[in-house]
Amino acid sequence: DSKREIRKVMKYMGKDLPEDVLEKIHQHTTFKTMKENHMANYSSIPTHVMDHEVSPFMRKGICGDWKNHLTVAQNELFDAYYKRKMSDTDLTFRFEV
C-alpha cells in the first residue's frame, strides 16, 4: 500500500499534505512512472559509469527479485549494513511481500 507508506514518511517528516498532493506523489512514485523517468532510473548516467544494457537500475519491479541475484553471503552483508545505517530511525521497509 504505497499511499500508506507515503503517509508514514509524511508523518516522520512532520508534514500534513492535502490529498491531491498525496495523490500526485503516489502517481510520480509508481514503479512504471519511475522506470520511465530518466531522473529516477539513472538512464542519463554515462554508460562507462553504469551500463544499463548489462544491469538496468530498475529491473522488474517485483518484490523479492533480489533473491535471484544475491548470494546468501551478499544478503547477510547487506542486512548488516542496512541495520547499521537505519539503527537511529524508526522507518522500516519491506523487502518481501
- pLDDT one-digit tens code per residue, 5-59: 999 999 999 999 999 999 999 999 998 898 888 888 777 778 888 777 777 677 7
Q: 2's torsion region: left (phi>0), alpha (psi -120 to 50) or beta?
A: alpha
- Provide the residue count of the chain: 97
Q: What distance in Å separates the CA atoms of residue 54 and residue 50, rounded to the nearest whole number?
A: 8
The reported pLDDT for the residue numbered 11 is 95
- 95 pLDDT higher than 90: no
pLDDT band at 68 (very low <50, low <70, confident <90, very high): confident
Q: Is the dihedral of CA 64, 68, 73, 74 positive or negative?
A: negative
